[in-house]
Structure 1
Amino acid sequence: MPSTFDMPLEELSRYRGTNPRPDDFDAYWDAAVAEMNAVDPRIEIIPDEEFQTPFATCSHLWFTGAGGARIHAKLLQPKPVAVPHPAVLMFHGYTGDCGGWLEKLGYAAAGFTVAALDCRGQGGCSEDVGGVRGNTHRGHIIRGLGDAPEKMLYRSIFLDTAQLAKIVMAMDDVDENRVGAMGGSQGGALALACAALEPRVARCAPVHPFLCDYKRVYDLDLAKDAYAELEEYFRKFDPQHRREDEIFRQLGYIDVQHLAPRIKAEVLLATTLRDTVCPPSTQFAAYNKIASTKSLEVYPDFAHEPPPGFAERTYQFMMEMC
């Protein structure tokens, strides 16, 4: 097997991350989850007027998240209802949206409730309440770096994933012990964050997760593409890197590698060794900290792209909950 541009696979299997972990990290996220649990979600489920199928009801799920934002997800509920049945949560890539109905029908046809989140302020319908209406699209990693750690936007986005899981688990026809989470890139990071913050998630299938080990990304000179805002932040707000340690420490609050030890779900993770968008070492920093049952699928010759066959492997992995 060829070596990754990053570090050899043997070293990757031992790598534990570079970005610092704040001393009060656990207290920070315990307080965040308590805040989420105190929110009245004001749930609305509205059937879609244009798309329905004989075997699933397709609806728009709305709920109130942290800071009062109204958050949207597409919801597919199988029919006739088999009680209780499993569910899957789907998370999308950076700046994207929850996608169309068609790509979710395979799980609904197999008897899963499916909920696919629109990340606040990105390409979908969810609201970003950070001072403007509509989306903010990019710059979400650095949102809040000049303020208290509680103001960081990904804190709210991570909480949205856990709140969606909590809402789906509370549905009368869903078995709360058979809920899975999945996604690629940002979606992979959010699947891991969801499983970390809602420990009842049973299965988690991330692909080349984003939002891991920010300092490693910067040290590799790969603060480009999806991570370009890191370099832009230094160029505009700390051009001589006088606050570098402080900045990476604050980013540590929203670093998925530090949430990974909280995961209790069984994890199936796919990594691509030629990925220069989400470098392999950053993904391994998170994977190596997962203490629950886990397995890794490695694709040596692939970059930041869907690894062939892994969608089907994920489907089989989730079907084991049926």
Structure 2
Amino acid sequence: MPLIDMPLDRLRNYEGRNPRPADFDAYWERALQEMRETDAQWELVASDFQVPYADCYHLYFTGTGGARIHAKYVRPKHASEPHPAVLHFHGYSHYSGDWSDKLAWALAGFSVLALDCRGQGGLSEDKGGVKGTTHRGHIIRGLDDHPDRLLFRDIFLDTAKLAGIAMSLPEVDGDRVGVFGASQGGGLALACAALEPRIRRVAASVPFLCDYKRVWEMDLARDAYEELRIYFRHHDPLHVREDEIFERLGYIDVQHLVDRIRGDTLMGVGLLDTVCPPSSQFAAYNKIRSDKKLAIYPDYVHERLPGFEDEAIRFLADM
């Protein structure tokens, strides 16, 4: 088998390289308190796109910092009530996608809530206002400001806020809410389930936002992680602050959050992935303490993993 990372036996025991800040738990408790104190003021607006078997809405809510956040909401017309719901999270710099790719889930009896990450390709608002660089990318957004201004802190909180809204919907069984996503969406699915431990099941494929220092040391700070190299080249060319930077990135490193997950977890990984290398993904998977299962695709890179979404629907339907 070709090898672009550690052998599989080492991957199964790998614990990650990026440091975990000493005040990590206090950081996220403070963040969650801010999220809880933010009035969601959520509303539904009917979409122009409609089909006979589902109702399609734009859902808007207020996230931390006062940003108005958007998600697509697809509700099956003939599902039993209350019924399960699944939150969908999209890839980096993308958006919540077409209405049509939610319909298979609606036909399977799920309500679907698909988030637009703030500042990326969808309708969610980006309030901005951080000090220092915002050049190309959200990993480094806020890196020169207070750690509470890291943009992914707020994106992670948006996922948890949306989960709470989903659980409050009268047509949804709040005890049967799951999350699904790939790449950035996979990382956000894990982060959401960590910050909202009532999430019942997690299906995450090739997750992004894990073990930044390992990605750097493998010389893979390109593609989705390119902004790490750009940051050092433009703002710390002698790497005087390297240790500080990676420790600060530890606040938004998904591997440090996942031990909070209580829901059953299904994760997919491609062993030839050079965008989110396998070791970075295993760093997260190996720290999950709830019941978990890993689907390993030896010949796949950072791409859609065949059969994984079908398995995810079956897995989440069994909540």
- Specify the TM-score bucket, using the shorter chain as the normaliser: over 0.9
Query: Separation in 1 of the partners of 2:306 and 2:78?
Result: 33
Query: Separation in 2 of the partners of 1:139 and 1:113?
Result: 31
Cα deviation 1:206-234 (Å, max 9, x = unaligned): 00100000000000000000000000100
Q: What is the match of residue 186 of structure 1?
A: 184
Query: Separation in 2 of the partners of 1:138 and 1:45?
Result: 32
Q: What is the match of residue 112 of structure 1?
A: 110
Correspondence list, 1:255-270, <5 A: 255-270=253-268
Q: Is the 8 A contact 1:188 1:208 kept in 2?
A: yes
Q: What is the match of residue 252 of structure 1?
A: 250
Q: What is the match of residue 89 of structure 1?
A: 87
Percent pairwise identity: 61
Cα deviation 1:14-66 (Å, max 9, x = unaligned): 000000000010110011111101001111100102x1111111000000001
Q: By how many angstroms is 1:319 displaced?
A: 1.5
Q: What is the match of residue 211 of structure 2?
A: 213
Q: By how many angstroms is 1:137 displaced?
A: 9.6
Change (3 A) 1:240 1:137: closer
Query: Separation in 2 of the partners of 1:55 and 1:159?
Result: 32
SS at match of 1:156: helix
Query: Separation in 2 of the partners of 1:111 and 1:275?
Result: 33
Moved over 3 A (4+): none
Q: By how many angstroms is 1:3 displaced?
A: 5.1
1:41 aligns with 2:40: yes
Unpaired runs of 5+ residues, structure 2, are none
Query: Separation in 2 of the partners of 1:79 and 1:118?
Result: 24
Q: What is the match of residue 16 of structure 1?
A: 15
Correspondence list, 1:43-192, <5 A: 43-49=42-48, 51-80=49-78, 82-131=80-129, 138-192=136-190
Change (3 A) 1:241 1:14: same
Q: What is the match of residue 201 of structure 1?
A: 199
Q: By how many angstroms is 1:80 displaced?
A: 3.2
Q: By how many angstroms is 1:131 displaced?
A: 3.8
User: What TM-score, normalized by structure 2, do the two folds share?
Assistant: 0.97
Query: Separation in 1 of the partners of 2:151 and 2:129?
Result: 12
Partner letter of residue 15 of structure 1?
Y
Q: What is the match of residue 30 of structure 1?
A: 29
Q: Is the 8 A contact 1:212 1:283 kept in 2?
A: yes
Unpaired runs of 5+ residues, structure 1, are none
User: What TM-score, normalized by structure 1, do the two folds share?
Assistant: 0.96
Partner letter of residue 227 of structure 1?
Y
Cα deviation 1:78-131 (Å, max 9, x = unaligned): 113522110000000000000001111011112211000000000001010004
Q: What is the match of residue 7 of structure 1?
A: 6
Q: By how many angstroms is 1:11 displaced?
A: 0.1
SS at match of 1:275: coil
SS at match of 2:257: helix
Correspondence list, 1:220-299, <5 A: 220-299=218-297
Cα deviation 1:178-229 (Å, max 9, x = unaligned): 0110100000000000000000000000001000000000000000000000
Q: By how many angstroms is 1:7 displaced?
A: 0.4
Q: By how many angstroms is 1:138 displaced?
A: 4.0
Q: Is the 8 A contact 1:123 1:137 kept in 2?
A: no
Partner letter of residue 63 of structure 1?
F
